[in-house]
Amino acid sequence: MPKWAMVIDLDKCTGCGDCMAACKLENNIAIVSPEEANVGRVMFWMDMITTYEGEYPNIKVKRIPKPCFHCDNPPCTRVCPVYATYKNDEGLVGQIYHRCIGCRYCMVACPYTAKVFNWYEPKWPDEFKSCLNPDVSLRMVGVVEKCSFCAHRLIKVKENADMEEREIYDGEYSPACGESCPTNAIYFGDIDNKESQVYKLSQSSRSYREMENLGTEPKVIYLSKRE
Amino acid sequence: MKKSLLDYTLKIKLPLILFVAAVSFIFTFYVSRAERDGVGYQPEQPINYSHKLHAGDMGIDCQYCHTGVSKGRHALVPSLNICMNCHTVSRKNQPEIVKLTKYYEEGKMLPWKRVHKVPDYAYFNHSVHVNKGIDCESCHGNVRQMDVISQVKPFTMTACLDCHRNPQDQLWYLNDVKRGPENCAACHR
């Protein structure tokens, strides 16, 4: 059984935010008005953490793309009272929207704040409605949602592989963010497969995981030379 | 006095309450059936199209009209030009065909009423199932015998999972059949 993982090379990442836009379009994520966004109700599955260091002329900027980390030991699934969020045998942490009761325990439990809540009935501008992706269900008001590693793409890849009676090859399944990245900073693959690029990169000396001391064992691995 | 009150409660009141409860349960069970699992749903269609005549008696293959079934997620309701492949010539004067031709000439789609519905949060792909050799009948019932199409099998999660868990019981006609995926993300996404 494969174990899907993502490697983000921060030395390659320019912080352009293409992954955020691709994710937003791929997964039909609702657009929030600026006023709502200012009170912390902004909806991104792929977020961009920006930190500034130093004083004005000598500023160091860090831009870190942050999807859901799909932890091997997820804190969110433990607290869900209705099993709306769960980890499947391929290591993907999923969310079933129509089962979610919107209690937001999982949002509190997640140390990475990867989950977002639908405060309003999701709305799109009229021009946008024909852009909605039919592969991803629309969420309703009052449910929690999060990055799924584009699980709908995995289903498609699996179905194709099944029809052609072959195994999924390395790099066939990639979420929208990885596919859209202009500098190819996002790698995706099976980390249990010793031949895969993701496994090789995860063994690099530059690799680290976010908040490793918590024991959540995230499956998104960052590569960076900087501290 | 006391005894007769107990008598009244046990002999009349209690059976009456139980009877009313049972009747209302049975009534709700059957009335809400179509709403719960869709069984028995048979809407009136804009044209008296008979699957029994076309697919049953004449033996036209399902895929002659439902062209998408082996290629993609949706089976597709045929566009009118598929009907007109035959009906430009055959049975032109029948009243139902005249209706059909009118729609065709106006360039409109027939407003079919959808019978088999899957909720939008559940993903179902026809091509995977059909290409593995699963017969249409396993989910849609014996369409070849239906004059007006109706739903005969439930389209619930239980129905999907019954087959995904024990495919041998449901799909006895297939020699080599794999178990379907059972994790939530296989259908809900």
Report the sign of the C-alpha dihedral through residues A211, A217, A222, A223, in that order.
positive
> What is the number of structural domains in chain B?
2
Q: Are A81 and A103 in contact (CB under 8 A)?
A: yes
- Same domain membership, residue B175 and residue B122: yes
Task: Report the residue from A138, A152, A162 with minimal CB separation from B128.
Answer: A162
3-state secondary structure of B130: helix
- Same domain membership, residue B179 and residue B134: yes
Q: What is the mean pLDDT of chain A?
A: 90
- Same domain membership, residue B56 and residue B25: no
Range of the domain at B64: 37-77+112-187
Token readout for A61 is 């900027």
Cα gap A140→A121, rounded to integer Å: 6
> What pLDDT digit, counting tens, does each position of A179-219 carry?
999 999 999 999 998 999 999 999 999 999 988 899 899 99
Q: Are A150 and A176 in contact (CB under 8 A)?
A: yes
Token readout for A208 is 């680290």
> What is the number of structural domains in chain A?
1
Token readout for B46 is 């804009």
- Within 8 A by CB and 6+ apart from A172, the residues are A157, A161
> Are residues A137 and B188, on separate chains, in Cβ contact within 8 Å?
yes
Give the model's pLDDT for residue B1.
55
- Is residue B82 in a domain? no
- Is residue B161 in a domain? yes
Distance from CA of residue A21 to its chain's centroid? 13
- Is residue B147 in a domain? yes
- What mean pLDDT do residues A79-94 have? 91
* ipTM higher than threshold 0.85: no
CATH of the domain at A11: 3.30.70.20
- Same domain membership, residue B56 and residue B116: yes
Cα gap B141→B138, rounded to integer Å: 6
Give B112 to chain A, closest Cα distance, Å.
Answer: 21
- What mean pLDDT do residues A12-33 have? 91
Range of the domain at A80: 4-223
The residue of A98, A140, A168, A173 whose CB has the most chain B CBs within 10 angstroms, and thus the best one to mutate to test that interface, is: A98
Nearest CA in chain B to A94: B185
What's the length of chain B?
189
- Is residue B180 in a domain? yes
- Same domain membership, residue B154 and residue B120: yes
- Is residue B103 in a domain? no
Token readout for A198 is 């993701």
β-strand pairing of A220-223 with A207-209: antiparallel
- Same domain membership, residue B58 and residue B41: yes
Give the model's pLDDT for residue A14.
92
> Is pLDDT above 80 for A227?
no
The residue of A1, A70, A137, A157 whose CB has the most chain B CBs within 10 angstroms, and thus the best one to mutate to test that interface, is: A137
In chain A, the largest separation of any two C-alpha atoms, in whole Å, equals 59
β-strand pairing of A186-190 with A4-9: antiparallel
Q: In tens digits, what is the pLDDT along chain B, a chain of 189 residues? A: 566 888 888 888 899 999 999 999 999 988 887 777 778 888 889 889 999 999 999 999 999 999 989 888 888 888 898 999 999 998 888 899 999 999 999 998 889 998 888 888 888 999 989 988 899 999 999 999 998 999 988 888 888 999 999 988 888 888 888 888 888 888 887
Per-window interface: B 29-48 vs A, CB < 8 A:
none
- Is residue B120 in a domain? yes
Would you place residue A20 in the very low, low, confident or very high pLDDT band (cuts 50, 70, 90)? Answer: very high
pTM of the model: 0.82
- Same domain membership, residue B158 and residue B116: yes
- What mean pLDDT do residues A220-226 have? 90
- Same domain membership, residue B127 and residue B68: yes
Would you place residue A159 in the very low, low, confident or very high pLDDT band (cuts 50, 70, 90)? Answer: confident
